[in-house]
Structure 1
Amino acid sequence: MSSWLQFWAGSDSVGRTVALALLLMSVSSWTLILWRSVTLTRARRSLARALPLFWAAPDWDSARSQAQALDAERILLPLIDAGRAPLPAGSLGEGAGNEARLTRQLRDALHQSVARLQFGQVLLASVGATAPFVGLFGTVWGVYQALLGLGAGGLPSIDRIAGPVGEALVMTAAGLAVAIPAVLAYNWFGKRVAACEAELEGFAHDLREFLKSRP
């Protein structure tokens, strides 16, 4: 913390902008990590409980009601409603066959649910990819500023070089500290999203086959 404060006190506007950018990346990524950890865990749990109850229900209305009560993240209900959603009169979709219409509506609902599950993944990937380079830029800029100060202040020495350069290296460490949790969370969330997506794809396929046999 003292090295960070020393860097902040001795840096110019560019160095402070880099430090603030890393702080913003860290706050946004950790907020997203904590929030998505809760929502994805809840989504997995909801799917595990709602799907068996849906197929065990005696009729469509009760099956939908049970799924709605358990679908906290609203990733299952769009698929259920898509199977019975009417089309506007006179539309191109209305002229297509029932199977084509059903396939299209289930596919669109599946994409909507998967997009909801993947929310925030782009931010985590961006932070993980760019934070080390932002920190490295802050280090290079800090070393450059330190060398300029040494050049204007007489003969250089190890003591005069080590302090400013050590403070500048804190930015590289800060960039890695921001990037590593974001990358780990991105990979972990990707695995959980893929598991939920597989469950939803299987449910969409089963729902399509069920509705095809109904008038």
Structure 2
Amino acid sequence: MESQMGLAHFWGQGDLVTHTTAVILALLSLASWSVIVSKLMSLWRASRLQERALSGFWNADSLPEALEGLRRDDVSGVFSGLALTGAHAAQAHQQNAARGIGAGVNASEFVTRAMRSHIVNTQARNERGLTFLASVGSTAPFIGLFGTVWGIYHALVSLSGATQVVLDKVAGPVGEALIMTAAGLFVAIPAVLAYNAFTRANRLVAVQLDGFAHDLHAYLTTGVRVGGNANLVSLDAARGNRQG
């Protein structure tokens, strides 16, 4: 009897509900690991080139060159998208300062609105998939527990017609049914750990993006980078050169 106990025996003795629960857990595990691997690769690529990309941006000789270098080096598009948004907003305000969307709005406020909107969209994009991981982490243990309860119920029903029930006939099915609880934890624990890790990583990115946004805003509105040395030609100087 003992040789027949195990996962294969539990699957063979299970019914539609048990099989469906196991398939759901397997699909949740596969989907959560897909999200985990995808976000890990994205974070690794972004962190590997981020410092070089920002350094190249601030040490460029001109704004167009800085934007092109940042777009090339920032594979995540987080910082390059913000820089392009800010630069386009500053240019649009300069061209429409006396009419249209630029009328009555100073350059600082106009650039701030554009960059803030981009930051919000970027944060929403970075958080994509985290809700799914949180849902898996919170529901998978209960799905596994449901499978266990149903497995025990199914095992006890199968023994209800026996005239004599000994401990080994009950312990085997109950032990097999507990596999579902273990499966639920196996699915939930990586999802919870990944959710916490990615949430922290996103907070760090948000802080770095906010700092870059402040420096970029100061440069686009005043022509000076606050808090660092930059080779970028000031906007006022560049405008004077174009006029000359």
Cross-structure match for 2:47: 44
Written as runs of structure 1 = structure 2, the 5 A alignment for 1:27-106 is 27-85=30-88, 86=92, 95-106=104-115
Distance in 1, Cα, partners of 2:16 & 2:205: 45
**Counterpart position of 2:118:** 109
- Between the two proteins, what is the percent identity of the paired residues? 42
* 8 Å CA contact 1:74, 1:113 repeated in 2: no
Distance in 2 between the 1:3 and 1:79 partners? 56
Q: What is the TM-score with the length of structure 1 in the denominator?
A: 0.91
Equivalent position amino acid for 1:59 in 2: S
- Opposite residue 190 of structure 2, the aligned amino acid is P
Displacement after TM superposition at 1:3 (Å): 2.8
Structure 1 residues 157 and 199: CA distance shift in structure 2, 3 A: same
- Of stretches 66-75 and 187-196 in structure 1, the one that deviates more from structure 2 is 187-196
Work out whether 1:174 is the aligned partner of 2:183. yes
Query: Which protein shows a greater Rg?
Result: 2
Give the Cα–Cα distance (whole angstroms) in 1 for the partners of residues 37 and 24 of structure 2: 20
Instruction: Give the 3 Å change call, closer, same or farther, for CA 102–149 of structure 1 in structure 2.
Output: same
Runs of 4+ off more than 6 Å: none
Partner of 1:15: 18
| Inter-CA distance 158–99: structure 2 relative to 1 (3 Å threshold) | same
Q: Using a 3 Å threshold, how does the CA distance of structure 1 residues 153 and 199 change in structure 2: closer, same or farther?
A: same
Number of residue pairs aligned between Structure 1 and Structure 2: 214
Tell me the distance in 2 between the aligned counterparts of 1:154 and 1:128.
Answer: 43
| Whole-angstrom CA distance in 1 between matches of 2:161 and 2:149 | 19
Structure 1, gaps ≥5 residues long = none
CA distance in 1, matches of 2:103, 2:128: 32
- SS of alignment partner, residue 34 of structure 2: helix
Over residues 100-132 of structure 1, what are the superposed CA-to-partner deviations in whole Å (9 max), with x where a residue is unaligned? 211111011112222232221111111111111
Structure 2: gaps spanning 5 or more residues: 223-234, 237-244
- Give the 3 Å change call, closer, same or farther, for CA 92–16 of structure 1 in structure 2: farther
TM-score, structure 2 length as denominator?
0.81
Instruction: Choose 41-50 or 127-136, whichever is displaced more.
Output: 41-50
Letter in 1 for 2:194: A
SS in structure 1 at match of 2:77? coil
